Amino acid sequence: MSVSRILISTIAITAFVASVFAQVSPMSPAPEARPSVTVEGRTTRIEVTKSHVTLYLDVPDSEGGKRQAWAIETGSLNELSAKGIKLTDLRVGRVIRAVGTRGAGSSTLLATASEISILQ
């Protein structure tokens, strides 16, 4: 086997292993182990990608009335459509309620939103 073939194989294996470990930290608890959180606020921004939709909400703090910026990760547009929510329903300024689990290591990221309701 030539040196260049060994080098290419080593780089390919390293890239594969790195991508596997980059997806989910082995130290983060499973989503099922994290408590469910309900967030309600007005949308300030919407990002749509192939794999999911991210809603950014301005959420009033329950204690002092301060506002917190939250990011809500949902499924794809097809998954939202199956729940009865169309892209045209998601507009900046609408009030959204989302239920899901916090992202690992984050206080204002709601990852894997299981329920989404448009209130206003």
Q: Is 57 exposed, middle or buried (0-12, 13-18, 19+ CB in 10 A)?
A: buried
Residue 60: its H or E element: strand 53-60
pLDDT at residue 27 above 50? no
Query: 49: closest CA among 16, 87, 14, 11?
Result: 87
**Dihedral sign from CA coordinates of 21, 36, 40, 85:** positive
Lowest pLDDT segment from 10-14, 36-40, 70-74, 101-105: 10-14
- For residue 22, give the amino acid letter: A
30: pLDDT strictly greater than 60 = no
Domains of the chain: 31-118 (2.40.50.140)
Q: What is the pLDDT of residues 58-105, one digit of tens each?
A: 988 777 678 888 898 888 888 888 888 888 888 999 999 999 888 877
DSSP one-letter code for 72: E
| Phi/psi at 101 (5° precision) | -115, 150
Give pLDDT, residue 28: 47
**pLDDT over 60 (residue 113):** yes
Q: How confident is the model at residue 110 (pLDDT cuts 50, 70, 90)?
A: confident
Share of the chain above pLDDT 90, in %: 18
From CA 119, how far away is CA 111, in angstroms rounded? 20
| H/E stretch holding 10 | helix 3-23
Quote the radius of gyration of the chain (alpha carbons, Å): 19
